[in-house]
């Protein structure tokens, strides 16, 4: 493990069996009740602004993750299908280009699409360890256990943490070279400044010979974009309102989720989809744990997610500001989504 402040608590939730037999799974958590403090801090900061906002990572408790998985299967939500197509077409090439012995995945979720990549890397014979990282503990635990039985040659080391705060405390590279993946367009949930900050931290984790695999949704017809976030089955709306359920349970809140409408619009200037919750009426909500009352006017909106859309030029320039250079640019057949393989520039 790398240099870690004394206050950083690592809880081992599951250790590998001492015998040589059985699954090799280890799961650590860096969150403790720090997770709740981050929600509290973000709520205190975001709900007292003139234009209310919350970071999208707080959607993802177990229910939020399950709703996200349902979104991925919706007919309107093309990004997952497009990224899966790219991965199944190019996984072998990515394995050959990277020779990765370790795959570290930030925001892995259930790692549904990652299997194609793991299979290609495992078939190549170099892969030793998979490190799925996510803020949702049950998701990391289930994913790590499932993958370790699907890939018995692999050591799976799940880490429950917030990759915005804990990257420096991740397990040191086990085997080299390392491939770090950030899929699903998750990088688009950050503002341009936040993206460069995160990409710089990622870049600092890469040595010569290591790679980054970055999934980005691409700029396209706003109607296609908006439809993807306004599905007819209302799953995205439920996912959006899940933030209110999360705040109710973790911060002793009394949000009435039914009194907020789901809104998702494409901001053409920023080139991002913005998800918001719009109050149907004038109301005051209390968050008991924070001794905070939050007033909403009728029609007032709270921003809950941005999902930036990219061009190749933007990806290239943001990677460059983080000291990374493009090795390959892959897109699906319709040019909806891109996977970029990058390496340290020097
Ligand atoms: C858009 S989903 C993508 C999931 C998966 N990678 C995929 O491509 O389908 C974002 C994932 O990142 C996780 N996540 C978001 N912010 C995070 C953070 N700051 N630290 C750790 N995990 C985070 C969420 O819990 C969720 O599983």
- Give the closest residue (by CA) to ligand 1 atom 4: 109
* pLDDT digits 0-9 by tens, 221-234: 999 999 999 999 99
Q: State percent of the chain over pLDDT 90.
A: 88
Pull the structure tokens for residue 277.
């919750």
Q: Using 50, 70 and 90 to split pLDDT, how confident is the model at 8? A: low
- Give the closest residue (by CA) to ligand 1 atom 24: 107
Answer whether residue 187 shows pLDDT above 90. yes
- Best probe residue, ligand 1, of 134, 144, 165, 213 (max atoms within 8 Å of C-beta): 134
* pLDDT digits 0-9 by tens, 14-28: 776 644 445 689 999
* pLDDT digits 0-9 by tens, 237-278: 999 999 999 999 999 999 999 999 999 999 999 999 999 999
* pLDDT digits 0-9 by tens, 76-92: 999 999 999 999 999 99
Q: 68 CB less than 6 Å from ligand 1?
A: yes
pLDDT of residue 37: 76
* pLDDT digits 0-9 by tens, 145-177: 999 999 999 999 999 999 999 998 888 887 899
pLDDT of residue 11: 74
Q: What is the DSSP letter of 75?
A: T
Q: Do residues 300 and 180 make contact, with C-beta atoms less than 8 angstroms apart? A: no
* pLDDT digits 0-9 by tens, 316-333: 999 999 999 999 999 999
When the pLDDT of each residue in the chain is averaged and rounded to a whole number, the result is: 93
Q: Which domains does the chain have, with CATH numbers?
A: 23-35+71-220+309-344 (3.40.50.150)
Pull the structure tokens for residue 72.
């991925």
Diameter of the chain measured on Cα atoms: 62
User: Is the link from the previous residue into 177 a cis peptide, with omega within 30 of 0?
Assistant: yes
Q: 148 CB less than 6 Å from ligand 1?
A: no
Compute the half-sphere exposure of residue 220: CA atoms within 13 Å on the CB side of its CA.
Answer: 16
Q: 65 CB less than 6 Å from ligand 1?
A: yes
Q: State percent of the chain over pLDDT 70.
A: 93
Q: 306 CB less than 6 Å from ligand 1?
A: no
Residue with tokens 């990374």: 324
């Amino acid at each position: 493990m790398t240099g870690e402040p004394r206050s950083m608590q690592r809880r081992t939730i599951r250790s590998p069996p001492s015998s040589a037999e059985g699954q090799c799974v280890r799961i650590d958590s860096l969150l403790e009740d720090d997770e709740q403090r981050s929600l509290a801090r973000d709520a205190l900061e975001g709900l007292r602004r003139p234009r209310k906002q919350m970071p999208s990572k707080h959607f993802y408790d177990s229910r939020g993750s399950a709703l996200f998985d349902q979104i991925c299967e919706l007919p309107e939500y093309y990004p997952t299908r497009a990224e899966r197509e790219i991965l199944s077409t190019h996984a072998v090439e990515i394995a050959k280009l990277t020779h990765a012995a370790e795959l570290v995945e930030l925001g892995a979720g259930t790692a549904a699409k990652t299997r194609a990549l793991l299979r290609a890397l495992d078939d190549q014979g170099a892969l030793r360890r998979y490190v799925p990282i996510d803020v949702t503990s049950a998701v990391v635990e289930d994913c790590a256990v499932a993958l370790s039985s699907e890939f018995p040659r692999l050591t799976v080391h799940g880490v429950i943490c917030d990759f915005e705060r804990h990257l420096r405390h991740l397990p040191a590279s086990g085997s080299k070279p390392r491939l770090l993946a950030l899929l699903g367009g998750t990088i688009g949930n950050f503002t341009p400044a936040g993206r460069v900050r995160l990409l710089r931290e990622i870049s600092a984790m890469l040595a010569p010979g290591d790679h980054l695999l970055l999934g980005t949704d691409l700029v396209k017809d706003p109607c296609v974009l908006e439809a993807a976030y306004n599905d007819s089955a209302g799953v995205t709306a439920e996912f959006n309102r899940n933030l209110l359920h999360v705040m109710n349970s973790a911060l002793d809140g009394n949000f009435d989720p039914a009194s907020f409408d789901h809104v998702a619009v494409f901001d053409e200037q920023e080139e991002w989809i913005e998800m918001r919750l719009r109050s149907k009426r004038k109301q005051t909500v209390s968050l008991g744990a924070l001794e905070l009352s939050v007033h909403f006017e009728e029609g007032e909106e709270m921003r809950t997610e941005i999902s930036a859309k990219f061009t190749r030029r933007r990806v290239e320039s943001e990677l460059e500001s983080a000291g990374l250079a493009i090795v390959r640019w892959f897109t699906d057949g319709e040019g909806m989504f891109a996977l970029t393989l990058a390496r340290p520039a020097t």
